[in-house]
Amino acid sequence: MPEGVIVKALSGYYYVLPAQAEAEPIQCRARGIFKKKGITPLVGDRVMYEVTENGEGTVDVVLPRTTELIRPPVANVDQAVLAFSLAEPALNLQLLDKFLVHTEKAGLETLICLTKRDLLTEDGLLDDRSQEQPALDEVKRLYEGIGYTVLVTSTRTKEGIAEARSRLADRTSVFSGQSGVGKSSLVNALVPGLSLETNEISSKLGRGKHTTRHVELIALEGNGGGLVADTPGFSQLDFLQIEVDELSSCFVEMKRASSGCKFRGCLHQHEPGCRVLAAVENGEIASSRYKHYLVFLQEMKERKRRY
């Protein structure tokens, strides 16, 4: 039975790219047994399939996954590229931290890609100083200090595009981020000849319209190849797959510090001998990150009370 990878899922069909080189994707349906077992094939799944008489196929086996994201629904990626704009819409660090929690939980290496650099001044600030927004250098210093790679890009000036493309070589990467940040424009710039649909920012809502409506793996040509997944933009995430006592381990700097806490299972709120609280106090952990941790923790506790 031949093997392949699902590169697109749309309207009940799964498009399987055969393992052999230069093959075209085969349109497949999934066997009914998957529904009975509560299994949903995902884009990125390595599968075994059969070709039927009409030239289509059936997905018969989903092979074990190395990674899995629930939202966006994609499997077997090894790198997450989080695209967040520096302006239009404004940079949302709380949402960025929420995405980082999920990529850490999924065990993905994460690349932070800050888009629309051309909308800032040379000093990395907004022209409109009435809007509160951290300077570009401050943001880079914060997240690079934690250990993340931060790339600054502009699809208009091509700044950072070559470096971003080199980071995708020989990897399977998922692109995600808040809608309207230029994610599809970024993928268009990285994959020559691609024309993913893009849209302008809604001035009324202050955020982008969703232009990508399904998850699809796209092959990169040259420079070691690689696959990238463009996914629907969205501005909210929930924590249904993360438990309260797991949250701090998804903040890299808190995970490092928490090994020194006095009590096992410390939630880093007001416990005596908490190494994380001490690190926040002396500036080893950014107050903004800790504040977001507390917001997420409260969200998770309220969720547990509801259910």
Separation between Cα atoms, residue 253 and residue 233, nearest integer Å? 28
- Distance from C-alpha of 75 to C-alpha of 64, rounded to nearest angstrom: 10
For residue 185, say whether it is annotated as part of any ligand binding site.
Answer: yes
238 vs 196: CA distance, rounded Å: 27
Among 42-46, 98-102, 202-206, 300-304, name the one with the lowest average pLDDT: 202-206
Q: Which residues is 80 bridged to in the sheet?
A: 110, 174
Q: What pLDDT score does 223 carry?
A: 56
For residues 29 and 52, give the distance between their C-alpha atoms in angstroms, rounded to a whole number. 10
pLDDT at 300 over 70: yes
Residue 226 assigned ligand-binding role: no
Judged against a pLDDT cut of 50, whether residue 49 lies above it is answered with yes
Would 237 be classed as within a structural domain?
Answer: no
pLDDT the model gives residue 208: 43
Q: How far is CA 280 from CA 111, 141, 287, in A?
A: 25, 16, 6
195 is in an annotated binding site: no
Which of 203, 230, 257 delimits the end of a domain?
230
In a domain? residue 96? yes
DSSP 14-60: EEEEESSTTPPPEEEEE-HHHHHHT----BT-EEEEEE-TTS-EEEE
Tens digit of pLDDT for each residue in 166-194? 999 888 888 888 777 777 788 888 876 56
Same domain, 159 and 276: no
Answer yes or no: is 180 a known binding residue.
Answer: yes
Across the strands, what pairs with 221?
none
pLDDT at 26 over 80: yes
> Coil, strand, or helix at residue 293?
helix
Largest CA distance in the chain: 69
pLDDT (mean) for 286-305: 92
Q: Which residues contact 226 (CB under 8 A, 6 or more apart)?
A: 168, 169, 170, 171, 172, 173, 219, 220
Q: Of 63, 86, 106, at which residue does a domain stop?
A: 63
Q: Do 219 and 74 lie in a common domain?
A: yes
| Structural domain range at position 53 | 3-63
Is residue 99 assigned to a domain? yes
- Angstrom CA distances, 258 to 42, 48, 100, 273, 284, stand at 35, 43, 18, 10, 12
- Verify that 282 and 218 share a domain, yes or no: no
235 marked as part of a ligand binding site: no
Whether 210 contacts 233, CB under 8 Å: yes
Range 112-130 average pLDDT:
77
Q: How many domains does the chain have?
A: 3
248 assigned binding-site residue: no
Query: 3-state SS string over 192-230?
Result: CCCCCCCCCEECCCCEECCCCCCCEEEECCCCCCCEEEE
User: How much is the pLDDT for 198?
Assistant: 53
Residue 115 lies in a domain: yes
Q: What is the pLDDT of residue 6?
A: 94
pLDDT in tens, 199-245: 443 333 344 444 445 778 887 776 567 888 766 655 556 777 789 99
Q: Is 140 annotated in some ligand binding site?
A: no
| Residue 215 and residue 76 in one domain | yes
pLDDT tens per residue, range 143-152: 999 999 999 9
3-state SS string for 88-106: CCCCCHHHHHHHHHHHHHH
Residue 120 lies in a domain: yes
Predicted TM-score of the model (pTM): 0.81
Joined together, the tokens standing for residue 225 give 């190849």
pLDDT for the residue numbered 230: 67
Q: 274: annotated binding-site residue? A: yes
Q: Is 62 annotated as a binding residue?
A: no
User: Are residues 208 and 299 located together in one domain of the fold?
Assistant: no
To the question of whether residue 178 is assigned a binding role by annotation, the answer is yes
Q: Are 51 and 57 in contact (CB under 8 A)?
A: yes
Name the pLDDT band for 73 (thresholds 50, 70, 90): confident
- Element holding 4 (H helix, E strand): strand 3-10
Tell whether residue 102 is among the known ligand binding residues. Answer: no
28 is in an annotated binding site: no
Is 118 annotated to bind a ligand? Reply is: yes
pLDDT at 307: 55
In angstroms, rounded to a whole number, what is the distance separating the alpha carbons of residues 61 and 194?
31
